[in-house]
Structure 1
């Protein structure tokens, strides 16, 4: 194998990675984006260039010999951001586990180390590749030394060698030093010759070869160029010294010290898990497997292949066994059919695997409440069985939900990543196995065995994780929350999805026509105000119209031109009539495509209902979210948004009963802060915002003005979300100073609320997390950050999470209570929707009054608080009618 050294400019690459990769933090709040980017490029270059030797050179904080020559060397550079500086030590730790040599030497820069090492390997006739984003290294290029210059962050590398230098600049690598001597380098604060740029510098070096020869023939130079060169002769020579990489630093180099050995996979694995880099865990696994396969014999590799799982398909054998806990996963067809057929029910029980096709014979076991059922995303299994009149009972454990409770801010709860984190067996991710889009695996009777084998591995992980994960939940004091709220909620949400909500298709089609008319009218008015037709949906074209043709002041720019986002348009709204039209146009087109047309496209042709998916593992606060459609995002503050609710109707012979918690988050705030004034206001069923205005502004309730009530309302809700004086000033359109006075007056009056805010932040800083009234935890790593903006975000999250999260806990308890009553009493009415703080039941006409009383009782008693949980209940034929 041909020898090859790769040597990396560590400071250059980590800087590039830091600015190229979006902000990432680990569970302790430490920033990790630079480490993540650096690790990815390590995998990439090792894979693509197969180095035999490898090293990473770093700068030290101490001054170098260049600072002694010129005190202002690099004097214009800003210090390293704290978010990057904290990543240096763990990055170097990671390199240790990669078994990559690290180099740094006081008094010298990384460039000097790289130069010395690369020239050493050149003498040994070993090819060297230098990875850097610093053009200074171009001077090192030779027949054996090439520069891999980082472009576009860290995703693209440009190879620079002697020929490229000649093609691009027309000079040799060593002449690049002379070029810098003339043109200087602002990034290093190397002055060069004032007024000499790259174009003139190249012309001079091409003609005179180097600055020494140039100054020997200075009289041949004419005009202002000669004057500039004469005035800055001393600077030119100093600049050349500063720009020259020292290739003979005092360090002993042994080539074998740079040999790239096997990674310490266990340590790397632990490191990536510790810093929440699960994709790198997967990459390491694939990388290691690839190396093993490439290095081993065919027989060895066959032995390393994953074994085929042995399992029984005999239903009688399954029935003969005694079951206490069953891990379950269902194989279903996935091509376009109304009700995908179940091909088999995969189960793990008593250490045995089963795949039962004749699953109706085991209905009594599936429905046995006393036999525990465990799984991963078990809602899918529950929903799969409903069309067959089988209700999966005894659900005890869902690994996905359990992991969500433990890590609510994770972006993904893929079982393969969970398995890696807990050191369980390796598993392909769902997407890797099943594919996606056009590459999605077709599941049918011919492929079911392959899927069964995959699911058996899933069930093995579920079963193996049970004691570990439930132990972690117990340690976090969330067992009651998990068992009494989150697990029962699975069936509640599943039933809501299965039942769906009736849709008035004709109403939507009429709205579609009306929306189209409005959009066409707005287009015409916008074109008239602009004086020409253009693509309103193109930010670039819109930017030209607004800021060049109409001469409106640009608010901010993006990489591609003027920003025309919502915030920018809002700021410009009073400056030209066209702005309001554009805002309306965007509202109408968004609602038309997302909701009017979107709802029409997802109506089930058999049921004439939509079946939204309700998610309990998305929002970190514990809130339930929905997709297809996203009911939470219907803009009900706009009349056109509210009108969409007309399409959500009750089926014939039924009505919709809408029950909405009144100001639940403010009631939670009163409860957890123990603020007597707020508690008393709610106890009297007073208008809480008028009461607050009276308290804060020191006026009688009858004298509270509309402006004062509006300010009190904004502060009330602002406190819930940890609002700042800046945020409140924007909301109310007042000065920051006045907004600050409002907040101060409010907190002076409500001392216990201020104390709550201080206490919950202090708790979060001490423990690293905050909790809801039911003990739901959320880590707040931002509180540990030194960056004031990030720390303030952490404070707002710490104040808001217990309030919003507790409200989420209460609505979930209410859902479980209501659903249990409906089933226990065998009522025909069904819970069909949950949106924000409201529940909607499709009630039969004869049960309508009873349902209203049931909702009032179960929702108001969901949690015992110091203030009443007030519930507003309304009835209508459509969702719109209930408001």
Structure 2
């Protein structure tokens, strides 16, 4: 800086007309926000990274457009950090020492962002030895002292100490003005105490030490009681809590140092006078040239000549904002649009990694990026038994690779894969890295805590790699992020998400592997198409993450993802790998018994029908029941056939033997095919263990689903269901433990609906159904008829699912009028339930979704339907969803805590199954006494500390040699 320039910094501020309104953009924060909000982008002509530049330009143009008008800025400046080292490093050499260097592809964009700022006609300043925050503080004080106002365009808490009557902050992403009351609301102190508060709590990001163990709430309480930090430290000996007292006395010097580190200076040497910041339109030629150079064609079309329209012009969509307004209602700020075509998929650009040198180079690039898309390719859908064909990685759009490990030439047609027609296979061996060596290298990357691994349905990949001694961590899952954001609105598979968010149709598996009898294993797919298919999976996944992950913050759903979803893939992968042991001989005997009984039922059915027919044919059953026997109540489906589903047969079975016989035959057929036969086939021949697969995003409420085989739908109350459960056994020297939440949904209804009568009954440990019957019908619990309790039980559970009088009448076998009277009496006795239902229906009509106690959003699209019946269904679903969803959230929280709780207690007990409200464990016999109370405690306290339930959760837990006896 020249001497002449230095002299200009001391010139007095002059301004004709209205007072100065200085707006200051925290440009460095803008850059990082733009970088992380959008997928990486490279300039087509030369591959230069420009994603952060494009995002910054979009954000800056939006700000310029929105700030036109009489209440907009008179002066505008973008303020940048100059370098990492500042005067604070002289005070404390550990300041910001833990911050990682900026991403490699971001570094060249810093200079481009400064060019962009100038091209848009905005002044930009920076100063060696000082942070951007210090310059912002200096200029804010100058504007305030000159009788003007200052607006800081940022949401950084470090700048909140500057807020006052003439200084506010504005977060453009949330469209929110932050004034003094916003600081008080967020931190519990006024802005003038923010320096003291930050000195106490420290800052792990900037490595400001603070006072160990003192968080924001405690700090706010102390400052409220003692007034300021100096008084607090002087009187620390008066504090009653020993640990708090000792911390403040022992770390007083460290706290004072922290105060100097967080305090912003208002007297930094101002690099340029404020007069130079006067708002001006950009030079059209300069701006056009810059956007053309960057190849931002879509943005260039929107910007035009660079002159943003006035606030009252047709292009403006928002009303003026007063500079000193209180905190405004947040509104969704859409992400800056992506240039069309700039992210087209280039499959030819994907790399096939066939040498160790290439693999090491990719691992280095992934480490430098800090985030890597990750996927596995296998020869089977079963993660617990699949062979690993290869691994794919992605670090940016079209920057993806596939590492083949076990690919083979496909067998020559007609050779049977053995002797190639009597001749030797003369094809060149495939070039691949030695599998153990490659996995050893990949292990260092996939287990590196500094590199985030991003997968789509990553639970599968975790299990595949765990079988090879690699514990992939840390992870993000795009399937689960999408599920948190838009559960209930659409599916969350990769192909659907790619079409929805990227406008891209991924390569279909059948394209590379064929279909039907000609389909081949992936290990036989040639390396070129295998690379295109596999690398694209990792590429798509990382692109989706770049789009979806920022929305968690924008839509305030980060806590939902972090506390209910993120850890679940690892927990479930371990459960799936563990599996549960079955007794194959017992299952075979059951299959034989079921088969004999089915044959008897078939013979009986033929006799009742008067002729043979296929009991598995709905058409033949319909023709006999309604065509030949002439039974009443038959209805034809859209295909012209008679309807013969379970509800039809159950109605007919009340008065006819043949439908009853058919129902019993169907149940045995299903149990035989789905369980006794299927479980034997699914069991590992070496261990006799079956390994189910859990789906995390199958139900909108958060409930898990199970498949291959499905272990969640085995009947509990029927004798044949119990016989099947008896075939699930523990290994020698062990027992199974079943831990089941008792009536959790009714307990949650009592809490959510604030039903005093139900709360009292649960707290007193009463039989809730008997207590409900007593409340409704005025019958004493002592000596209550079983039928009276049964009716109360049906209503209790039915209400949770929005049961109608018609449905209750069918369930209890009474007329609809009597059922309606029961429901009316129920709501009269428990008015809070009606209030909850009405409130929930109003909420879902307004928002289109409902939320659980833990913040999970459950979208109900049917509520927007034009059909009255579909809207009514949507209302019933909305009533049940917060209850069932909260129950699902609670057991997820328990599952995520359980492995570490068992490990910390030194137990070998492990979790094997989740069946809705039940967890099943396998424990050494010697551990049962220790495991049972620990499991109960973890499950019963799972809602805490997020939610303090007003009813107790109870868990019934029991150990036995088989699952049925433990239940």
Question: What TM-score, normalized by structure 1, do the two folds share?
Answer: 0.63
* Contact kept in structure 2, 1:654 and 1:842, CA below 8 Å: yes
Q: CA deviation at 1:575?
A: 2.4
Structure 1 residue 459 and structure 2 residue 538: aligned? yes
Distance in structure 2 (CA, Å) of the matches to 1:828 and 1:379? 23
* Contact kept in structure 1, 2:860 and 2:874, CA below 8 Å: yes
* Residue number among 359, 368, 391 corresponding to 1:315 in the alignment: 359
- The residue number in structure 1 matching 2:941 is 861
* Residue number among 629, 633, 644 corresponding to 1:550 in the alignment: 629
Query: Per the alignment, in what secondary structure is the counterpart of residue 850 of structure 2?
Result: strand
Query: Per the alignment, in what secondary structure is the counterpart of residue 636 of structure 1?
Result: coil
Distance 1:758 1:572, change over 3 A: same
Structure 1 residue 326 and structure 2 residue 372: aligned? yes
* Contact kept in structure 2, 1:543 and 1:561, CA below 8 Å: yes
Distance 1:432 1:813, change over 3 A: farther
Q: CA deviation at 1:821?
A: 2.0
User: What is the CA deviation profile of residues 779-805 of structure 1, one whole-angstrom value per residue up to 9, with x for unaligned ones?
Assistant: 223223343212211110110100111
Distance 1:338 1:627, change over 3 A: closer
* Contact kept in structure 2, 1:344 and 1:359, CA below 8 Å: no
* Residue number among 866, 878, 885 corresponding to 1:805 in the alignment: 885
User: What is the CA deviation profile of residues 85-105 of structure 1, one whole-angstrom value per residue up to 9, with x for unaligned ones?
Assistant: xxxxxxxxxxxxxxxxxxxxx
Distance 1:557 1:353, change over 3 A: closer
Distance 1:703 1:422, change over 3 A: same
Distance 1:747 1:542, change over 3 A: same
Q: CA deviation at 1:876?
A: 0.9
User: What is the CA deviation profile of residues 717-738 of structure 1, one whole-angstrom value per residue up to 9, with x for unaligned ones?
Assistant: 1111011111111111111111
* Contact kept in structure 2, 1:556 and 1:568, CA below 8 Å: no
Mapping 1:249-328, distance limit 5 Å: 306-310=347-351, 313=355, 314-318=358-362, 320=364, 322-323=367-368, 324-328=370-374
Query: Per the alignment, in what secondary structure is the counterpart of residue 959 of structure 2?
Result: strand
- Provide structure 1 residue ranges, at least 5 long, that are not aligned to the other structure: 1-288, 290-302
Q: CA deviation at 1:424?
A: 5.8
Q: CA deviation at 1:433?
A: 5.0
* Contact kept in structure 2, 1:817 and 1:858, CA below 8 Å: yes
- The residue number in structure 2 matching 1:474 is 553
Distance 1:819 1:711, change over 3 A: same
User: What is the CA deviation profile of residues 660-708 of structure 1, one whole-angstrom value per residue up to 9, with x for unaligned ones?
Assistant: 0000101111111111111111100110000011111123222532222
Distance in structure 2 (CA, Å) of the matches to 1:805 and 1:580? 36
Distance in structure 2 (CA, Å) of the matches to 1:877 and 1:700? 40
Query: Per the alignment, in what secondary structure is the counterpart of residue 481 of structure 2?
Result: helix
Distance in structure 2 (CA, Å) of the matches to 1:304 and 1:459? 12
Distance in structure 2 (CA, Å) of the matches to 1:654 and 1:304? 53
* Contact kept in structure 1, 2:350 and 2:401, CA below 8 Å: no
Q: CA deviation at 1:416?
A: 3.0
Distance in structure 1 (CA, Å) of the matches to 2:396 and 2:653? 67
User: What is the CA deviation profile of residues 354-412 of structure 1, one whole-angstrom value per residue up to 9, with x for unaligned ones?
Assistant: 545512223233223342211111112111112211111211x1111212222323563
Distance 1:844 1:733, change over 3 A: same
Distance in structure 2 (CA, Å) of the matches to 1:829 and 1:304? 48
- The residue number in structure 2 matching 1:877 is 961
- The residue number in structure 2 matching 1:344 is 390
User: What is the CA deviation profile of residues 556-583 of structure 1, one whole-angstrom value per residue up to 9, with x for unaligned ones?
Assistant: 2233433322222211113222232221
Q: CA deviation at 1:713?
A: 0.7
Distance 1:851 1:576, change over 3 A: same
- The residue number in structure 2 matching 1:625 is 705
- The residue number in structure 1 matching 2:692 is 612
User: What is the CA deviation profile of residues 485-542 of structure 1, one whole-angstrom value per residue up to 9, with x for unaligned ones?
Assistant: 2110101111111111101001001111111221122122222223332222223332
Distance in structure 2 (CA, Å) of the matches to 1:709 and 1:647? 33
Query: Per the alignment, in what secondary structure is the counterpart of residue 907 of structure 2?
Result: coil
- The residue number in structure 2 matching 1:667 is 747
Query: Per the alignment, in what secondary structure is the counterpart of residue 375 of structure 2?
Result: strand
Distance 1:305 1:394, change over 3 A: closer
Distance 1:346 1:550, change over 3 A: closer
Distance in structure 1 (CA, Å) of the matches to 2:554 and 2:381? 43
Query: Per the alignment, in what secondary structure is the counterpart of residue 631 of structure 2?
Result: coil
* Contact kept in structure 2, 1:331 and 1:451, CA below 8 Å: no
* Residue number among 366, 378, 395 corresponding to 2:446 in the alignment: 366
* Residue number among 404, 414, 423 corresponding to 2:483 in the alignment: 404
* Residue number among 608, 633, 656 corresponding to 1:529 in the alignment: 608
Q: CA deviation at 1:882?
A: 1.0
Structure 1 residue 717 and structure 2 residue 797: aligned? yes
Q: CA deviation at 1:594?
A: 1.6
* Contact kept in structure 1, 2:394 and 2:401, CA below 8 Å: yes
Distance in structure 2 (CA, Å) of the matches to 1:597 and 1:637? 21
Query: Per the alignment, in what secondary structure is the counterpart of residue 736 of structure 2?
Result: strand
Distance 1:464 1:554, change over 3 A: closer
- The residue number in structure 1 matching 2:182 is none
Distance in structure 2 (CA, Å) of the matches to 1:508 and 1:708? 39
Mapping 1:637-656, distance limit 5 Å: 637-656=717-736
Question: What TM-score, normalized by structure 2, do the two folds share?
Answer: 0.57
Q: CA deviation at 1:549?
A: 4.1
Aligned residues: 581
Query: Per the alignment, in what secondary structure is the counterpart of residue 631 of structure 1?
Result: coil
Cα RMSD after superposing both structures: 2.5
User: What is the CA deviation profile of residues 211-236 of structure 1, one whole-angstrom value per residue up to 9, with x for unaligned ones?
Assistant: xxxxxxxxxxxxxxxxxxxxxxxxxx
Distance in structure 2 (CA, Å) of the matches to 1:497 and 1:337? 9
Distance 1:431 1:751, change over 3 A: farther
Distance 1:763 1:877, change over 3 A: same
Distance 1:577 1:821, change over 3 A: same
Distance in structure 2 (CA, Å) of the matches to 1:455 and 1:425? 15
Distance in structure 1 (CA, Å) of the matches to 2:507 and 2:535? 12
Distance in structure 2 (CA, Å) of the matches to 1:488 and 1:435? 36
| Segment drifting more, 594-603 vs 357-366 | 357-366
* Contact kept in structure 1, 2:692 and 2:706, CA below 8 Å: yes
Distance 1:848 1:304, change over 3 A: closer
Query: Per the alignment, in what secondary structure is the counterpart of residue 949 of structure 2?
Result: coil
| Segment drifting more, 608-617 vs 419-428 | 419-428
* Residue number among 799, 806, 830 corresponding to 1:726 in the alignment: 806
Distance in structure 2 (CA, Å) of the matches to 1:762 and 1:832? 40
Structure 1 residue 591 and structure 2 residue 671: aligned? yes
Question: Going by fraction, where is helix more abundant, 1 or 2?
Answer: 1
Q: CA deviation at 1:769?
A: 0.8
* Residue number among 497, 503, 509 corresponding to 1:418 in the alignment: 497
- The residue number in structure 1 matching 2:914 is 834
- The residue number in structure 2 matching 1:503 is 582
Query: Per the alignment, in what secondary structure is the counterpart of residue 581 of structure 1?
Result: helix
User: What is the CA deviation profile of residues 25-64 of structure 1, one whole-angstrom value per residue up to 9, with x for unaligned ones?
Assistant: xxxxxxxxxxxxxxxxxxxxxxxxxxxxxxxxxxxxxxxx
Distance 1:514 1:847, change over 3 A: same
User: What is the CA deviation profile of residues 254-306 of structure 1, one whole-angstrom value per residue up to 9, with x for unaligned ones?
Assistant: xxxxxxxxxxxxxxxxxxxxxxxxxxxxxxxxxxx9xxxxxxxxxxxxx9985
- The residue number in structure 2 matching 1:283 is none
- Provide structure 2 residue ranges, at least 5 long, that are not aligned to the other structure: 1-340, 404-432
Query: Per the alignment, in what secondary structure is the counterpart of residue 703 of structure 2?
Result: coil
User: What is the CA deviation profile of residues 100-141 of structure 1, one whole-angstrom value per residue up to 9, with x for unaligned ones?
Assistant: xxxxxxxxxxxxxxxxxxxxxxxxxxxxxxxxxxxxxxxxxx
Distance 1:509 1:737, change over 3 A: same
* Contact kept in structure 2, 1:398 and 1:487, CA below 8 Å: yes
Query: Per the alignment, in what secondary structure is the counterpart of residue 307 of structure 1?
Result: helix
Q: CA deviation at 1:635?
A: 2.1
Query: Per the alignment, in what secondary structure is the counterpart of residue 444 of structure 1?
Result: helix
Q: CA deviation at 1:308?
A: 3.4
Distance 1:485 1:548, change over 3 A: closer
Q: CA deviation at 1:441?
A: 4.5
- The residue number in structure 2 matching 1:249 is none
